[in-house]
Amino acid sequence: MRVIFSITIFNFFLILIQCSKEANPLDEKASEVSNVSSSENLDEEEASTNSVTIPLSNNVLKMKSLFETFDGVTTSSDSEFFYVSSNGIPSHNMMEGITNWQQQIPINQEYNGTNSWSIPIKPEFSENPLSSESNFMKGAMAIAVNGIPIFNALNNRGEDANLIGELDKWGGHCGKADDYHYHLPPTHLSDIVGADNPIAYSLDGFPLFGKTNNTLDENLGLLNKDGSYSYFTVESFPYFISKMKGKVTTSGSAPENQIVPQAQSKGIRPALTPLKGAEITKFLTTGENSYQLIYNINNQEYTIDYLWDNTGHYFITFTDPDGTSKTETYHK
């Protein structure tokens, strides 16, 4: 009888131990989440129950490697921000294909020192993400890994810049300060950095990737299993970042508010107005800091040749179809 009773007690404790294991699936889930790659995303059921409140911090060494892949882009960091410096001129061609042109031309910008682009190293989730449809129509929303800022898909008049012909083949154009920037995410950069790497970082601190087959949330992003968060691009408006998932500080009033801190562009001449009927057909690099832009109106060809020197002087020569030309000189 004593032997039977001891065996029964032993079996009872075995059952308790087994039930205890089965009653704690969260322990197994935590172990599973901790061992998956950050590129794997939460499915719908997991996302609805996920308790991540503090996103994973950015990897500064990885960011440095990505940005400094591109000539002329340099980086630095402190405990709060990752800083990106560039001259605002991309290595790819520009301006070709624009049919709604405001007569701006791309010149260099001094995005360096205290005027560098600032990306939060430790992004935080916002309780009330701001919509890009009604905010950020001034200044940049993100900085591409080639050092070029990415503005809202809407211009400062609230129009889809892509649909009205303002953008070139790379999704960019020049602003009032002759500053080149994108309004579409530069997905072509994936061919350089690889599809598994970001093509940009939003000014809220979260990376922006190219296209994905995964179902995106209302912000056009995904929460990854390691607690990081990523935006992705889509084919149609708003193209990227429907809502700013991260906390940002803004200046100005919506919709023409902008994220701060933010690098500022500096122009050399008064802002011009759209040139009706003009289509930019060719843009050539003719030397160091020297370019030629060709546009057509009514099947007639006009040419702009321009350059700048090391003393901050800019020389712009306008040539009409009949060969008449004039040169304007500016100093920054």
Is the peptide bond between 106 and the residue preceding it cis, with omega within 30 degrees of 0?
no
Amino acid in position 197: N
Q: Give the whole-angstrom CA distance, residue 110 versus residue 113.
A: 9
Q: Give the whole-angstrom CA distance, residue 271 versus residue 284.
A: 23
pLDDT in tens, 220-265: 999 999 999 999 999 999 999 999 999 999 999 999 999 999 999 9
Q: Give the whole-angstrom CA distance, residue 116 versus residue 86.
A: 8
Q: What angle do CA 318, 292, 165 make, to 5 degrees?
A: 90
Cβ neighbors of 77 (< 8 A, separation 6 or more) are 60, 64, 83, 121
pLDDT at position 53? 82
Q: CA-CA distances (angstroms) from residue 216 to 220, 226, 262?
A: 5, 17, 27
Residue scoring higher pLDDT (34 or 115)? 115
pLDDT in tens, 152-200: 999 989 999 999 999 999 999 999 999 999 999 999 999 999 999 999 9
Q: Give the whole-angstrom CA distance, residue 223 versus residue 205.
A: 14
User: pTM score, two decimals?
Assistant: 0.85
Q: Which helix (H) or strand (E) holds 14?
A: helix 2-22
Beta strands in 52-174 (DSSP E): 74-77, 81-85, 117-120, 125-131, 140-144, 149-151, 172-174
